[in-house]
Amino acid sequence: MLTQLLSLNNSDKAAGYWQNAGGTQFPFTWKGGTFTPLASLLPTSTTAQATGVNNAGMVSGFFTDAGGVTHGFLLDGTTETVLDDPNGVFTQALGLNNRGQVVGFYMDAGGAMHGFVYAGGVFTTVNDPNGVNTTIVNGINDKGQLVGFYVNGGNTLGFVANTPEPGGLMLLGSGMLVGLGVLRRKLRG
Classify strands 155-162 and 145-152 as parallel, antiparallel or unpaired. antiparallel
Longest Cα separation, the chain:
50
**Banded model confidence at residue 164, pLDDT cuts 50, 70, 90:** low
Per-residue pLDDT, 146: 96
- Residue whose C-alpha is closest to residue 30's, from 1, 60, 4: 4
- Taking the complete model, does pTM exceed 0.75, yes or no? yes
Give the pLDDT confidence of 95-132 residue by residue, as tens digits: 999 999 999 999 999 999 999 999 999 999 999 999 99
The arithmetic mean of pLDDT across residues 125-148, rounded, is: 94
Confidence band, pLDDT 50/70/90 cuts, at residue 175: very low
- The per-residue pLDDT for 166 is 52
